[in-house]
């Protein structure tokens, strides 16, 4: 029995049984409609899958290509010269969509002929049998949420040990978000606690501990922010009530909304790896400052490489009441963006000005994020 049986993806011998369960799921008809095939045909195809490779390079690739065709106007990536197929990496990205950030990275790795990575997936999302099987067949591993301080510490140590095991012993890459949970306000910032967690599994030398993980920052951007309406409402209610309590099934709804929502132009940039020399330059810092500075180093690579779309510049000008960035968009694009905000009319009891301020911030803040590194 593995020390990581509680969080790991499925072993190869567990895949056939999992795909049989997936094929029998009540979710199949909806997925079949999206793909434009019959449920019977989809069930038979899934039943024939016996390996992770068949799942990812076959079925999942087709699903993502259909998704790209239906919900995007363009999908581009850059920076692949910053990684080599001979090394495993710890990919750390800004986090805009619950599942698509990692899924699209998997697609890119497949397309360029590199091995796919294992993916962190919050325990709060693994509540439905279909999601659990889908995730664990797709090389996702469980990360615990909540618990007492001691339980949380132990789960973070356990995850740190597992990621180091995957990278240094199994020689497989890992994807993780730069913070716990999606960015909801458009401000991408790496949590120093995440960087500290990486090093929990090796404490003898903090520079060597991080260097051997081959940390690679990744910048993810969507023209139309994933779940932008849901994020706006959550931030509004949090500000109004002092907290936000999720409803049953809300996480699954966010997953499905992010997948089905129109995304426009999507761009990924693989940034230069955090090297041992980068880390050594910070090694004289006290512990807390060291991890904060490493986090800032991550941000200095992610934020300048975030692909700014017309929506970002439009929102910034609307929020500031200026035309500072008018050269980056057309009158028609601005009018379309303003028209899109009519969704707020569905909430007449909410403060419209506050809703607009939050919504515009989601799109405008990346401009300020990037400008801070000019």
Q: pLDDT tens digits for 185-217?
A: 999 999 999 999 999 999 999 999 999 999 999
Provide the 10 A C-beta neighbour count for residue 61: 15
Same domain, residue pair 222 and 353: no
**4 found inside a domain:** no
Q: Classify residue 7: in a domain, yes or no.
A: no
Question: Three-state SS for 267?
Answer: strand
Say yes or no: 343 and 235 in one domain.
no
Do 247 and 145 fall into the same domain? Answer: yes
pLDDT digits over 282-317, tens only? 999 999 999 999 999 999 999 999 999 999 999 999
CATH number of the CATH domain containing 251: 3.40.1130
Which strand (E) or helix (H) includes residue 77? strand 72-78
Residues 300, 155, single domain; the answer is yes
Last residue of a domain, one of 307, 333, 362: 307
First to last CA, the chain: 51
Residue 5 lies in a domain: no
In angstroms, the CA 272 to CA 99 distance is: 24
> Range of 42's domain?
12-307
Closest residue by Cα to residue 317 from 329, 308, 305: 329
How many independent structural domains does the chain possess? 2
1 pLDDT more than 50: no
> Are the C-beta atoms of 182 and 258 separated by less than 8 Å?
no
| The last residue of a domain, from among 285, 307, 329 | 307
**Rounded mean pLDDT of 118-132?**
87
- Token readout for 116 is 């796919």
Strands of the sheet with 118-122, listed across from one edge: 72-78, 264-270, 215-222, 90-93, 174-177, 118-122, 140-143
User: Which of 23-32, 217-226, 252-261 comes out lowest in average pLDDT?
Assistant: 252-261
Mark whether 230 and 356 lie in a shared domain: no
pLDDT band of residue 126 (cuts 50, 70, 90) is confident
Residue 208: per-residue pLDDT: 97
């Amino acid at each position: 029995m593995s020390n990581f049986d509680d969080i790991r993806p499925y072993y190869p011998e567990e895949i056939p049984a999992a795909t049989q369960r997936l094929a029998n799921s009540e979710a199949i008809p909806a997925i079949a409609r999206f793909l434009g095939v019959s449920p019977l045909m989809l069930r038979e195809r899934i039943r024939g899958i016996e390996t992770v490779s068949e799942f990812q390079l076959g079925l999942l690739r087709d699903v993502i290509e259909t998704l790209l065709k239906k919900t995007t106007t363009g999908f581009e990536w850059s920076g692949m010269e910053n990684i080599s197929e001979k090394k495993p990496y710890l990919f750390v990205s800004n986090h805009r969509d619950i599942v698509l950030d990692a899924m699209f990275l998997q697609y890119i790795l497949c397309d360029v002929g590199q091995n796919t990575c294992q993916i962190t997936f919050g325990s709060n999302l693994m509540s439905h049998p279909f999601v659990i099987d889908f995730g664990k067949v797709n090389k996702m591993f469980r990360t615990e949420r909540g618990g007492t301080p001691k339980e949380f510490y132990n789960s973070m140590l356990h995850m740190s040990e597992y990621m180091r095991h995957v990278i240094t012993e199994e020689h497989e890459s890992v994807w993780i978000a730069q913070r716990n949970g999606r960015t909801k306000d458009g401000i991408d910032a790496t949590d120093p606690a995440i960087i500290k967690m990486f090093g929990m599994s090796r404490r003898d030398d903090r520079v060597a501990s991080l260097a051997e993980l081959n940390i690679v920052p990744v910048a993810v951007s969507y023209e139309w922010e994933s779940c932008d309406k849901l994020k706006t409402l959550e931030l509004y209610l949090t500000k109004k009530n002092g907290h936000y309590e999720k409803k049953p099934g809300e996480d699954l709804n966010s997953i499905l909304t992010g997948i089905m929502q129109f995304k426009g132009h999507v761009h990924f940039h693989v940034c230069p790896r955090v090297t041992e020399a980068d880390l050594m330059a910070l090694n004289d810092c006290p512990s807390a400052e060291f991890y904060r500075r490493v986090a800032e180093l991550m941000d200095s690579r992610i934020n300048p490489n975030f692909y700014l779309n017309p929506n970002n510049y439009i929102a910034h000008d609307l929020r500031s009441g200026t035309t500072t960035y008018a050269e980056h968009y057309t009158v028609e694009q601005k009018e379309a963006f303003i028209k899109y905000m009519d969704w707020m009319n569905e909430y007449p009891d909410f403060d419209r000005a506050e809703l607009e301020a939050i919504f515009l911030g989601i799109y405008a803040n990346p401009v300020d994020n990037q400008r801070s590194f000019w």
